[in-house]
Structure 1
Amino acid sequence: MTIAAVADMRGRLGRVGAALMTPIAPAGEWRRTARRVERAGYGSLWTNEAVGGREVFTQLSVMLAATERIVLGSAVANLWARHPATMQGAASVLADAHPGRLALGVGVSMAGLVEQSGQKWTSPLNRMREYLDGMDASVEAAPVPEVPFPRLLAALGPKMQGLARDHADGALPAAMPVEHTRAARKRLGPDKLLIVMQTAILETDPERARASARRTQLFSLPGSPYVRSLRELGYPDEALAGGGSDEVVDACFSWGDEAAIGERVQDHLDAGADHVAIAALAPDLASAADVLERLAPALP
């Protein structure tokens, strides 16, 4: 994307979006939830995938058709789930059908999850670089959208963020402290998109909030890239063990009342994020929408 196109997408996104990272649910529930998020005033709505199950482009098409203005994004589309030409073609078709309303986030997942799908894990950086080259080589065979869509990388570490700067339109980090956002902006420079995923727990009791955060297993999964990135930020191994110390959990998860979560979002924006997407930690889509509706008035 050109600098002007990046600026245009910043305007379309606004400052705050939402993310729905929940298991499989009927299409009707996704439609209703997407409309609720849009009516609450969020600028974007993001969803994810593994390999198999809920396929991200099909899911995005369901929600794009059910809404009118909100930007829909993949956070992330798993590169292990499809050929790079298929990734480019699928995103181009959706962007052509819904001008200005698609953002493509691409990610490498984790070794254990990839190997469970029957594939062989390789260097994430090399794999991503080769994959992006494959996408670029297939551009001419894909539709040309009226409004270009941004290509973002789920980049946590410095090397992947460098790739996001040089071969994509920006980065899409998740579950990281505010200091990570500040460092990412410095690496990306001013002309790339930085969209931050922030998990929010609407709970004022510290023990219950931290227990909910630890149940996500972000810091306990084997080979967790989140643990590696936190080490790079200077967090010691003892703070990262056992699901993360209170300090680690508090830095990576936003919990408390509506005002406290709104303050954390503002902290990320002040640190250089263009847009913060809130993933409400909830057991189902309806509950997540309830939380997002409650939060909306308190957000920047």
Structure 2
Amino acid sequence: MTVVDEARKRLGRVGVGLVTPIAPAEEWRRAARRVEDAGYGTIWVNEGIGGREVFTQLSVMLAATRRVVLGSAIANLWARHPATMQGAASVLADAYPGRLALGVGVSMGALVEQSGQKWTSPLGRMRDYLDGMDASVAAAPVPEVPFPRLLAALSPKMQGLAREKADGALPAAMPVEHTRLARERLGPDKLLVVMQTAIRETDPEKARGIARGTQMLDLPGSPYTRSLKNLGYEDAALSGGGSDEVIDACFNWGDDDAICERVQDHLDAGADHVCVTVFTPDLASSADEFERLAPVLL
């Protein structure tokens, strides 16, 4: 069985993203156990540069759970040397066979510059970084079950690199059409994990206001804006936080059935797995939401 085949079996069709920035470790443990008990197969966590370091976070949650796969969405390549990325992932995959998925990403220029580093070409940086990871494989543990390596790939060129040098791609916050195109670029033998934000709000004005509050399209050099332009959206539709059409395409809002329908749309468009995140003030509230959604999502 290939790495991709094994990952498809273990990830399941729908997973959850726990992305609250700061919380005590015991809250993370409780939330992870609740999500696992609700029946989800995968939990994804994110990372900036500094703060909640992703491999430490994954280890806490792996130790607190029994079967669920833990994934990084993403492990930020600007936060560590490529040999450290390879070694950390290999140690966890060795300790918890079949329970790790590694998503690697380049973040955004403004955030990298704030950390005191110099932003360079994302594509070139990622290619060199993956070469560095590959060069350090011999020095790392050899897991019984190899972990899948995914790239946070929004653009056609980054998706091409994911096809060439990874096990698949992990795009976020994009319309269904983007998922369909990503599957075509990756081909049938690569993983496609799609990140989607669910907003359980049926009032259109309120739901769109919550979505615009993320400022996804307003950040300097936003890769989401570039990718939406590649899909044909005009500048006017992408300004001011995004038009109603853009918000409705990128965010999954409505009642439980509407959220489930959008997730299914991405699966039908070629996604192997959809990671659903929710807007809540804390981890306990996130777990509440995922327990409520489990009967329809699973």
TM-score range normalised by the length of the shorter chain: over 0.9
Shift of 1:289: 1.0
Secondary structure of 2:143's match? coil
After superposition, residues 132-143 of structure 1 pair within 5 angstroms as 132-143=130-141
Q: Paired residue for 2:106, among 96, 105, 108?
A: 108
Give me the whole-angstrom Cα distance separating, in 1, the residues matched to 2:246 and 2:287. Answer: 27
Secondary structure of 1:41's match? coil
User: Who is 2:213 aligned against?
Assistant: 215
Give me the whole-angstrom Cα distance separating, in 1, the residues matched to 2:137 and 2:145. Answer: 15
Give me the whole-angstrom Cα distance separating, in 2, the residues matched to 1:147 and 1:119. Answer: 35
Give me the whole-angstrom Cα distance separating, in 1, the residues matched to 2:57 and 2:5. Answer: 27
User: Who is 1:268 aligned against?
Assistant: 266
Instruction: Give the alignment's TM-score, normalised by structure 2.
Output: 0.99
Q: Paired residue for 2:197, among 196, 199, 205?
A: 199
Return 36-45 or 112-121, whichever deviates more.
36-45
Deviations 1:124-177 (A, max 9, x none): 000000000000000000000000000000000000000000000000000000
User: Who is 1:148 aligned against?
Assistant: 146
Instruction: Give the alignment's TM-score, normalised by structure 1.
Output: 0.98
User: Who is 2:47 aligned against?
Assistant: 49
Write the letter of the residue equivalent to 2:112: V
Write the letter of the residue equivalent to 2:259: I
Write the letter of the residue equivalent to 1:206: P
Write the letter of the residue equivalent to 1:48: N
Aligned length: 298
Give me the whole-angstrom Cα distance separating, in 1, the residues matched to 2:218 and 2:156. Answer: 22
Which consecutive unaligned segments of at least 5 residues does structure 1 have? none
- Deviating beyond 2 angstroms after TM superposition, the runs of 4 or more aligned structure 1 residues are none
Write the letter of the residue equivalent to 1:108: V
Shift of 1:5: 2.4
User: Who is 2:292 aligned against?
Assistant: 294
Aligned residues of 2:3 and 2:167 also touching (Cα < 8 A): no
User: Who is 2:156 aligned against?
Assistant: 158
User: Who is 2:57 aligned against?
Assistant: 59
User: Who is 1:74 aligned against?
Assistant: 72
User: Who is 2:240 aligned against?
Assistant: 242
Shift of 1:4: 2.4
Deviations 1:63-102 (A, max 9, x none): 0000011100000000000000000000000000000000
Give me the whole-angstrom Cα distance separating, in 2, the residues matched to 1:251 and 1:5. Answer: 32
Percent identity for Structure 1 against Structure 2: 79
After superposition, residues 182-193 of structure 1 pair within 5 angstroms as 182-193=180-191
